[in-house]
Amino acid sequence: MDPVPALDEPLKKVLGPATAKVMAEHLGLHTVGDLLHHYPRRYEERGQLTHLADLPMDEHVTVVAQVADARLHTFASSRAPRGKGQRLEVTITDGSGRLQLVFFGAGVHKPHKELLPGTRAMFAGKVSVFNRRLQLAHPAYELLRGDAEETVETWAGALIPIYPATAKLESWKIGKALQTVLPSAQEAADPLPGPLREGRGLVTLPEALLKIHRPHTKADIEEARARLKWDEAFVLQVALARRRHADAQLPAVPRRPRPDGILAAFDGRLPFTLTEGQRKVSEEIFADLATDHPMHRLLQGEVGSGKTMVALRAMLAVVDAGGQAAMLAPTEVLAQQHHRSVIEMMGDLAQGGMLGGADDATKVVLLTGSMGAAARRQALLDLATGEAGIVIGTHALIEDKVQFHDLGLVVVDEQHRFGVEQRDALRGKGKQPPHLLVMTATPIPRTVAMTVFGDLETSVLDQLPAGRSPIASHVVPAADKPHFLARAWERVREEVEKGHQAYVVCPRIGDEEDGAKAKKKSPEDEAEKRPPLAVLDTAEQLARGPLAGLRVDVLHGRMPPDDKDAVMRRFAAGEVDVLVATTVIEVGVNVPNATAMVIMDADRFGVSQLHQLRGRVGRGSAPGLCLLVTEMPEASPARQRLNAVASTLDGFELSRIDLEQRREGDVLGQAQSGTRSSLRMLAVIDDEEVIAEAREEAARIVASDPDLERLPALRTALDALLDEEREQYLEKG
């Protein structure tokens, strides 16, 4: 008997170089173990036919169907001028619909002999439309004979696994390759500790791999899935639990506010009371700051829930304890905005060392890449001497030149905007690791928080401060109902007449050299053949047309920083009626008098982004209005997405919708980590219970055996998950 290949055996040794090359390049599969973990997407029942009625356009599909009829046509063409061209048209049916297959030229001979009426086969190809009918051109096919020459093994189960495939490698070829390596499943080391597996009634890993690839019944599939989901959730949670455990071993300076210090002075002057949520979250943060290992906390807050106030109180607590706090913002506009609002909130408590400063005052400095040399030198000096207790800046804070006297707390605003290395570089600025508070206004469903930010403790602010106004949102279908768009501009005028201001948001700036690039976005864009609307063109058209006579200005990311700041100041001061901008206003911009927002080509933005943008209005006492303008047809997925945004202000609900529409793999940020998502079976949204239980089990195991010395198979699984790139990604979040 042939020896069973080991799980780390390269596929080229087992399957041959050509197949192995396609698997490596197109599916990312390199070893026998990788292939065993390439699970079927779904299963066809032998007696049941796929619904041809539900075929998706432009996708690679595998169908099981019966040949209804086959005709060979001859025709004249440039290659075969004497009518010698041949085209074979085969119609297949499954009871729900019919589908045409076409073969041309020399490719007609084999199917002409084999695809006779009544023959059943699996067909794979890309669905296209010809003469208004769906067709597969030159599909690959595999006859389902069901006679003695078929091995009993393959067909007895009557469940045909359909694998995620590519045009270069059909599902059944992957199935055949799996048949070759399946005996190796017996060698799979089981990462789940025995008692945990038995306690939950889960099958062993070798059994799960056999049942997922060669199920005899639907119950086999369910058992295998339940087990493989647990593996993925558990191994990932162990990785995160070990990170939390390692972080808990790091030393940090405890930072406790003084009862009569700057925090007490600040709280005593607040003109309003904190919400219950703000008080509760602040207590969690103060408890973390008082410990002798670094805080790692994620603060999620709905747009406008008062996260900045919570972060400022945490920073003041650290200043009270003799340390410094740094707040990192993703853009200059936002850093300047935070700097202004912190100084406004603190009043003379922000004037340390200056005439008129309060007794407990500290200095609040701004540090961005575009500051003048003199201002920059002074800011650096204030940080190095400890004169400045609080610094707010962009990634300029991370540069080598920046030295802190005693960095005690790092607050990172809008975590998803920050690269992996940046958070770490700033952490390295402290004599001992500083405490870390990460803030995001993008609501993250609980399961994603447990999975992606699993090394951070999570606090949620879900109450809006008193006095916040509701925001009405409506979709404006500009193509179907142009008069709705005209009415939108009338509404903007009405708001301005009441003394308010408005934003108009566009996807593009408009000074790009090559507008063609903008067309290559999505199939929906392709259908339109129109580049997204641009700030510069839109501002000009509005100022000349529907908003003539109003003070219209523009703001975008390519403007010099001083110009950006000047525009924001004028807008905040009420000297601009309508600001036409790109998404630079998406996070943190706070102008309470702005009540209306019109988002052009709203279908070009993601759900969370639209929610963020909408949060810029309704920040004062007057109600907010957000109009989502689109030319997408009513039935399109883009319109459904916009309807969802218009129908709810609940960011957590929207983040769920957003997640369901994106591929699961995006959740684990493979864009940042450079690797394929490790989740093949686990669905982050649906498997909340499994993830929560796996998190508890992982914490228990890591607490008693942090190096997993007693669980070598779990260590091996962990090493496979945490190849270097992924380890770094998890480490740096």
Does residue 110 contact residue 141 with C-beta atoms inside 8 Å? no
Q: Which two tokens stand for residue 395?
A: 């990634």
pLDDT tens-digit map of 288-303: 999 999 898 888 887 6
CA dihedral 330, 335, 341, 347 (to 10 degrees): 140
Instruction: Tell me the pLDDT band of 334, cut-offs 50, 70 and 90.
Output: confident
Orientation angle between helical segments 420-427 and 724-732, nearest 10 degrees: 60
Percent of the chain with pLDDT over 70: 80
**What's the confidence (pLDDT) of residue 428?**
73
CB-based burial label for 310 (10 Å; 0-12, 13-18, 19+): buried
Amino acid at 207: E
Q: Distance between CA 83 and CA 75 in Å, rounded?
A: 5
Mean pLDDT confidence for 579-604: 84
CA dihedral 318, 320, 321, 327 (to 10 degrees): 20
Q: Report the SS3 class of residue 140.
A: strand
Mean pLDDT confidence for 552-579: 88
Is the pLDDT score of 166 beyond 80?
Answer: no
Is the pLDDT score of 212 beyond 90?
Answer: yes
Q: Distance between CA 41 and CA 503 in Å, rounded?
A: 45
Q: Which of 588, 284, 307, 612 is nearest to 458 (CA)?
A: 284
**What's the confidence (pLDDT) of residue 169?**
79
**What's the confidence (pLDDT) of residue 325?**
94
Identify which has the larger pLDDT, 715 or 400.
715
Mean pLDDT confidence for 580-594: 78
Structure pTM? 0.65
Q: Which two tokens stand for residue 33?
A: 């173990």
Q: Report the SS3 class of residue 730.
A: helix
Strands 296-301 and 388-393: unpaired
Write the DSSP assignment of 64-125 as a string of letters: EEEEEEEEEEEE--SSSTTTTEEEEEEEEE-SS-EEEEEEEGGGGHHHHHH--TT-EEEEEE
pLDDT tens-digit map of 384-399: 999 999 999 987 787 7
**What's the confidence (pLDDT) of residue 134?**
84
Q: Distance between CA 99 and CA 135 in Å, rounded?
A: 6
CA angle 439, 443, 445 (to 5 degrees): 120
Does residue 354 contact residue 429 with C-beta atoms inside 8 Å? no
CB-based burial label for 183 (10 Å; 0-12, 13-18, 19+): middle
Is the pLDDT score of 616 beyond 80?
Answer: yes
Residue 633 makes CB contacts below 8 A (sequence gap 6+) with: 479, 480, 639
The distance from CA 48 to its chain's CA centroid, rounded to whole angstroms, is 37
Contacts for 267-276 with beta carbons within 8 Å, 24 or more apart? 267/313, 269/347, 272/465, 272/466, 272/467, 274/306, 274/309, 275/305, 275/306, 275/461, 275/463, 275/464, 275/465, 275/466, 276/463
Tell me how far CA of residue 124 lies from CA of 141, 154, 171, 173, 537, in angstroms: 6, 19, 8, 11, 47
pLDDT tens-digit map of 303-320: 667 888 999 999 999 999
**Residue ranges with strand state E in 406-447:** 407-413, 435-440
**What's the confidence (pLDDT) of residue 512?**
58
Q: Distance between CA 443 and CA 427 in Å, rounded?
A: 25
Q: Where does residue 549 fall: left (phi above 0), alpha (psi -120 to 50 degrees), or beta otherwise?
A: left
Q: Which two tokens stand for residue 361?
A: 């005052």
pLDDT tens-digit map of 87-137: 899 999 887 788 999 998 877 888 999 999 988 888 877 788 887 788 888
**What's the confidence (pLDDT) of residue 577?**
95
Strand partners, 598: 504, 627
Question: Which one of 260-269, 426-435, 629-638, 644-653 scores highest in mean pLDDT?
Answer: 260-269
Mean pLDDT confidence for 352-378: 83
Q: Distance between CA 264 and CA 283 in Å, rounded?
A: 14
Residue 582 makes CB contacts below 8 A (sequence gap 6+) with: 505, 506, 507, 508, 509, 535, 555, 556, 557
Q: Report the SS3 class of residue 429.
A: coil
Q: How many CB atoms lie within 10 A of CB 638?
A: 18
Q: Report the SS3 class of residue 648.
A: coil
Residue 406 makes CB contacts below 8 A (sequence gap 6+) with: 253, 322, 323, 324, 386, 430, 431
Mean pLDDT confidence for 622-640: 87
Q: Distance between CA 339 and CA 342 in Å, rounded?
A: 5
CA angle 81, 84, 90 (to 5 degrees): 125
Identify which has the larger pLDDT, 509 or 416.
509
pLDDT tens-digit map of 449-505: 666 666 678 888 877 666 667 788 999 998 888 888 999 999 999 999 999 999 999
pLDDT tens-digit map of 502-554: 999 998 887 654 444 444 444 444 434 567 778 888 899 999 999 999 999 99
pLDDT tens-digit map of 42-73: 887 654 445 677 777 766 677 778 899 999 98
Is the pLDDT score of 669 beyond 50?
Answer: no
Q: Which two tokens stand for residue 691?
A: 């993830």
Mean pLDDT confidence for 198-208: 93
Tell me how far CA of residue 463 lies from CA of 98, 198, 287, 305, 650, in angstroms: 54, 43, 21, 6, 11
Q: Which two tokens stand for residue 421?
A: 């290395």
Q: Which two tokens stand for residue 708?
A: 């997993």
Residue 368: φ, ψ to 5°? -130, 165
CB-based burial label for 271 (10 Å; 0-12, 13-18, 19+): exposed
Mean pLDDT confidence for 173-184: 87
**What's the confidence (pLDDT) of residue 146?**
60
Instruction: Tell me the pLDDT band of 732, cut-offs 50, 70 and 90.
Output: very low
Mean pLDDT confidence for 702-717: 88
Strand partners, 161: 43
**Mean per-residue pLDDT of the chain:** 81
Is the pLDDT score of 286 beyond 90?
Answer: yes
Strands 471-477 and 552-555: unpaired
**What's the confidence (pLDDT) of residue 728?**
47
Strands 140-143 and 98-104: unpaired
Identify which has the larger pLDDT, 524 or 167.
167
Three-state SS string across 680-721, please? CCCCCCCCHHHHHHHHHHHHHHHHHCCCCCCCHHHHHHHHHH
Q: Distance between CA 164 and CA 146 in Å, rounded?
A: 24
CA dihedral 87, 92, 98, 102 (to 10 degrees): -20
Is the pLDDT score of 149 beyond 70?
Answer: no
Does residue 203 contact residue 211 with C-beta atoms inside 8 Å? yes
Instruction: Tell me the pLDDT band of 246, cut-offs 50, 70 and 90.
Output: confident
Q: Distance between CA 300 and CA 303 in Å, rounded?
A: 9
Q: Distance between CA 492 and CA 545 in Å, rounded?
A: 13
Instruction: Tell me the pLDDT band of 204, cut-offs 50, 70 and 90.
Output: very high
Q: Distance between CA 34 and CA 27 in Å, rounded?
A: 10
Identify which has the larger pLDDT, 429 or 327.
327
Is the pLDDT score of 725 beyond 60?
Answer: no
Identify which has the larger pLDDT, 333 or 623.
623
Is the pLDDT score of 356 beyond 70?
Answer: no
Three-state SS string across 170-208, please? CHHHHHHHHHHHHHHHHHCCCCCCHHHHHHCCCCCHHHH
Name the strands in the sheet holding 324-328, side by side, starting at the edge strand that comes first in the sequence.
363-367, 388-393, 324-328, 407-413, 435-440, 296-301, 457-461
Q: Distance between CA 388 and CA 353 in Å, rounded?
A: 9
